Amino acid sequence: MVRQKTSAFQSSKPVTIKDLAEILHTTPSTVSRALRDKKGVGEKRRKQVKDLARKMNYQPNTVASGLRKGKSRTLGVIVPRVNRDFFSDVIAGIEEVAFDHKYSIIICQTHDQLDREKQYVETLLSARVDGILASLSLETNTYDHFRKILNARIPLIFFDRIPAEMDTSRIVIDDFEGAYRAVKHMIDNGYRRIIHFAGPDYLNVYRNRKEGYLAAMKSCNLPVEEDMIIHNNLTLEAGRKSMEEVLNKGMVPDALFSASDYAALGALLFMQEKKFDIPGQFGVAGFSNEKFTSYINPSLTTVDQHSREMGRYCTELFLKESIGEKPPPSKIMLSPELLIRKSTQRKSKQ
Amino acid sequence: MVRQKTSAFQSSKPVTIKDLAEILHTTPSTVSRALRDKKGVGEKRRKQVKDLARKMNYQPNTVASGLRKGKSRTLGVIVPRVNRDFFSDVIAGIEEVAFDHKYSIIICQTHDQLDREKQYVETLLSARVDGILASLSLETNTYDHFRKILNARIPLIFFDRIPAEMDTSRIVIDDFEGAYRAVKHMIDNGYRRIIHFAGPDYLNVYRNRKEGYLAAMKSCNLPVEEDMIIHNNLTLEAGRKSMEEVLNKGMVPDALFSASDYAALGALLFMQEKKFDIPGQFGVAGFSNEKFTSYINPSLTTVDQHSREMGRYCTELFLKESIGEKPPPSKIMLSPELLIRKSTQRKSKQ
DNA sequence: AAAAAACACACAAACGTTTGTGTTATTCTG
DNA sequence: CAGAATAACACAAACGTTTGTGTGTTTTTT
């Protein structure tokens, strides 16, 4: 005998509102209203419809309803990479709030490439997402693709890596403050010749971290020679290499403040190979609070960016913008948290 | 004077195919065919249409075309958490292949909760995604929601955490083999009383890792007492706590093979606090190759799961299933890679 | 040069909803 | 109990595409 599944498991084409209407000898409009608890449908009929819908395993078609309503209850999220702790934490935060409000999220990885970013903006626009949350790619130096989003009257919220050139809602942490506090802390611990690994100047986050570094040094009257600021791409390998070059040039820094944890790690590993005592002879601080920073030895002083909260806020900003008349853009700046760990704590101060 | 933007920046309602048709005194069908390079449109007209589309910044509406075509070029991805290295790496892999084939991906976090998983399946089904890639939540012990996907004739590919109960395409790594090799390696390095942190038995991955552990021990005639296998939820805290309990019970293991890197780390940190020399007095190996494992000290021996490749394969499996007649489900098993690091390398063997 | 084939296009229906408007029956009001 | 208000529904149009079919026109074939 053929195995007979319950009616929930019939295959074939999905059941539509029309099908339900036909069976009940009524019309699609009534069924639609019944299902969504809109008025204009009698008690009895409503129950009848809902019962049948359940029985026939009716699945609402959000594509159709999206087309009709002009809303997709979908959010586009554009990030450089999904598998970076910072970004995946932000995404986790976004997803949480989005889920609570019945939004789905489409994620887009730019791989830090401008043309991918552009292409994804097109895709999201075509998908008629209700909003876009984005963090700039490293290559982004033009913003017309983002302006298109605004012109389409779709809420656009930037987080972390934001364009100075556009007047949109945005949420960042205070990178300047985070860097300033990290460097100040290092100085307080007796480090003096602190070098800095910086990212590209055209990205707000790296520019601000550099400024924070400079301000902290200046506030203590510590000189910053030109070659104490090393721009690289902030990967582990870049950090290791830059550190090597610094030593090869004959410089004798006693600490490093890196705009990225990975680059900090690269330098730290290199210095350990060279038998430098960390934090004794050389202090290291990073930025972002990647998970590994608390597990390595010595644990790495870093700046936490409240990534998950950033994601949550970001989505809340979108929700605010998506209802009613467009409010003026909100600019939120979260306070970073300096996490003082072993890599910057000298046993004896200066 | 009012600032005048180029035509690319007009606001108002999006341009539709109908609009283009009207302007060119032709019909939507012709415009549609012209834009998509379908035959039935003259050279001249085609150029005319494309030029106008560009000029008016026409954005195709994938919602409408999705409704008409019954395909959304969208993939649903269901994972326990997006901010775990393993899963975010898989997602990165999925995104890469999906992007190349012009698919968008909707990501869903179950937070290891069954009801969230169910709800997301409904959402994805309603969104009429073209396929679903999923890894089970810890709580999943019922599969009707997944069967619905199959009944809707939507390709469903499981990865890593898969249900034994369903006959779908799937891709896993050989957890048994990975565990076996890890434990064998530890035995080869002189460890004898190796304990095991295991996850829930109803999840294939943890069951297989445990089996691998048992097989390796057995192959060397090493006894495994009941209390040498500790089930916990595999978090860092759980690892620490379990380790503490083991010692408190008066057991004297000389090594740990943990089904998770985090739990391994918890145990490792605890043992270090208790002044055990690792790997000298106590060896530790984990599973998953989380990023931090190579940066900690001692670096952690672990098993790499080729997560990115898994994501890529997974999407390729979907692509294969989405064309033509449904092929029989593919069952792919990737070979894990044992990464031998310091945490299991005794200076002097035995 | 007539018949056949190919082409360029218009027309119309369809995908599955949602929503405004009309129609009839029921309930309410004074 | 007439008239108004309300309710329960049906009807039809619309969202923006895609695609099958029909109709002239041009090109090719012989």
* pLDDT tens per residue, range B42-69: 999 999 999 999 999 999 999 999 999 9
Give the pLDDT confidence score for residue B326 in this predicted structure.
78
**At a CB cut-off of 8 Å and minimum separation 6, what does B36 contact?**
none
A306: left (phi over 0), alpha (psi -120 to 50) or beta: left
Which of A61, A97, A156, A295 to mutate against chain B (most B CBs within 10 Å)? A295
A166 and A256 inside one domain: no
Residue A127 and residue B63: Cβ atoms within 8 Å? yes
Predicted confidence band at B251 (pLDDT cuts at 50, 70, 90)?
very high
Determine the distance between A36 (CA) and D10 (C1') in angstroms.
18
What pLDDT does residue A58 have?
A: 96
Tell which residue, B189, B193, B211, has the closest CA to residue B280: B189
* Residues touching nucleic chain D (CB < 7 Å): A 25-30, 39-46, 64, 67-68, 70; B 13-14, 16-18, 28-29, 31-33, 35-36, 38, 40, 58-61, 64-65, 67-69
pLDDT digits (tens, 9 = 90+) for B69-119: 999 999 999 999 999 999 999 999 999 999 999 999 999 999 999 999 999
Tell me the nt nearest to B15, Cα to C1': D16
Q: Do A162 and A203 fall within a single domain?
A: no
Domain that holds residue A299: 175-305+338-344
> Is B119 within the bounds of a domain?
yes
Does A57 contact strand C, using a CB cutoff of 7 Å? Answer: no
Taking residues A123-152, report their average pLDDT.
Answer: 96
pLDDT at B347: 62
Q: Which residues contact B129 (CB under 8 A, 6 or more apart)?
A: B72, B74, B75, B76, B106, B154
Residues B153 and B241 in one domain: no
Q: Is residue B350 part of a domain?
A: no
Cβ contact (<8 Å) for A104 and B127? Answer: yes
Distance of alpha carbon B242 from alpha carbon A31, whole angstroms:
56
Cα distances from B281 to residues A245, A272, B248, B344, in angstroms, run 39, 24, 17, 10
Nearest nt by C1' to A126 Cα: D16
Strand partners, A195: A256
Taking the C-alpha atoms of residue A5 and residue A124, their distance in angstroms, rounded to an integer, is: 39
Q: What is the mean pLDDT of residues B116-128?
A: 98
Q: Is the pLDDT reported for residue A4 higher than 80?
A: no
Q: Which residues of A touch B106 (CB under 8 A)?
A: 74, 104-107
| Nearest nucleotide, CA A41 to C1' | D8
B138 and B47 share one domain: no
- Report d(CA B155, CA A348) in Å as an integer: 63
Task: Quote the pLDDT of residue A297.
Answer: 87
Please indicate whether, in this complex, the C-beta atoms of A88 and B88 are within 8 angstroms of each other: yes
Residue A347 is predicted with a pLDDT of 61
pLDDT value, residue B241: 97
Q: How confident is the prediction for chain A on average, in pLDDT?
A: 93
| Domain annotation covers residue B110 | yes
List the nucleotides on chain C closer than 7 A to a protein CB.
7-21
- Using a 7 Å cut-off to protein CB atoms, list the covered nucleotides of chain D: 7-21
Alpha helical stretches, state H, A152-235 = 175-188, 204-219
Would residue A245 count as lying in a domain? yes
Contact in structure between B120 and B134 (CB atoms under 8 Å)? no
> What is the mean pLDDT of the segment spanning A267-282?
95
Structure tokens belonging to residue B317: 């499996």
The verdict on A109 and A144 lying in the same domain is yes
Any idea what the CATH number is for the domain that residue A13 is in? 1.10.260.40
Provide, in whole angstroms, the distance separating residue B133's CA from nucleotide C6's C1'. 46
Cα separation, B182 vs A121, whole angstroms: 45
**pLDDT above 50: residue B21:** yes
Q: Please report, for residues A63, A66, A291, the alpha-carbon distance to residue A69 in angstroms, rounded to integers and kept in the order given.
A: 10, 5, 43
Question: Mean pLDDT across the stretch B138-154?
Answer: 94
- Report the pLDDT value the prediction gives residue B5, as an integer from 0 to 100: 35
| Tally of domains in chain A | 3
SS3 B221: coil
Q: What is the pLDDT of residues B323-349, one digit of tens each?
A: 867 788 999 999 999 999 999 998 654
CB B113 within 8 A of CB A121: no
* Closest residue to B265, CB basis, from A84, A290, A295: A295
Interatomic distance B102 CA / C5 C1' (Å): 37
Q: Are residues A184 and A298 in the same domain?
A: yes
B27 touches strand C (CB under 7 A): yes
CB B87, CB B133: distance < 8 Å: no
In a domain, B67, yes or no: no
A40-CA/C22-C1' distance, Å:
14
pLDDT level of residue A8 (50, 70, 90 thresholds): very low
pLDDT in tens, B257-315: 999 999 999 999 999 999 999 999 999 999 999 999 999 989 999 999 999 999 999 99
The pLDDT of residue B323 is 86
Q: Are residues A217 and A298 in the same domain?
A: yes
A213 and A193, same structural domain?
yes
pLDDT of residue B18: 96
In angstroms, the CA of B152 and the C1' of C12 are apart by: 30
DSSP E strands: which ranges in chain B?
A: 74-79, 104-109, 131-134, 156-159, 169-173, 194-198, 229-231, 255-258, 283-285, 302-304, 331-334, 337-339
Q: Is residue A6 very low, low, confident or very high in pLDDT (cuts 50, 70, 90)?
A: very low
CA distances in angstroms from B323 to A115, A281, B150, listed in the order given? 29, 62, 15
Report if residue B2 sits inside a domain.
no
CA B344 to chain centre: 28
Strands B74-79 and B104-109: parallel
Tokens of B329: 């489900």
CA distance B323 to B340: 41
Same domain, B102 and B217: no
pLDDT of residue B13: 87
Encoded amino acid at A68, one letter: R
Give me the CATH number covering residue B126: 3.40.50.2300
Among the listed ranges A301-305, A323-327, A336-340, which one has the minimum average pLDDT value?
A323-327
Beta bridge partners, A331, equal A170
pLDDT value of position B297 = 87
Q: Is the CB of B66 under 7 A from strand C?
A: no
Let me know whether A188 and A289 are in one domain: yes
Distance CA B179, CA B173 (A): 11
Q: How far apart are CA B227 and CA B250, in angstroms?
A: 11
A168, two tokens: 């949109």
Same domain for A210 and A140, yes or no, is no
Confidence of residue B1 (pLDDT cuts 50, 70, 90): very low
Indicate whether A9 pLDDT > 60: no
Same domain, B24 and B146: no
Residue A263 and residue A232 in contact, taking contact as beta carbons nearer than 8 Å:
yes
Residue B1 lies in a domain: no
Of the candidates A17, A33, A60, which is a domain's last residue?
A60
- How far is the C-alpha of A130 from the C-alpha of A319, rounded, in Å? 10
Task: Compare CB distances from A9 to B8, B99, B151 and report the shortest one's residue.
Answer: B151
Distance A59 CA to C24 C1' (A): 32
Q: Which residues of chain A neighbour B122 with C-beta distances below 8 Å? A: 59
- Closest nucleotide C1' to the C-alpha of A67: D15
Q: What is the pLDDT of residues A159-206, one digit of tens each?
A: 999 999 999 999 999 999 999 999 999 999 999 999 999 999 999 999
Chain A residue whose CA is closest to B272: A297
Residue A292 CB partners (closer than 8 Å, separation 6+)? A261, A265, A300, B291, B292, B295, B296
A191 in any annotated domain? yes
pLDDT 10s digits, B205-248: 999 999 999 999 999 999 999 999 999 999 999 999 999 999 99
* Residues A94 and A308: beta-carbon distance below 8 Å: no
Residue A102 beta carbon within 7 A of nucleic strand C: no
DSSP-derived pairing of the beta strands A169-173 and A331-334: parallel
Residue of B nearest to A70 (CA): B63
Nucleotide nearest B17 (Cα, C1'): D16
Facing A292 at nearest CB: one of B122, B144, B291: B291
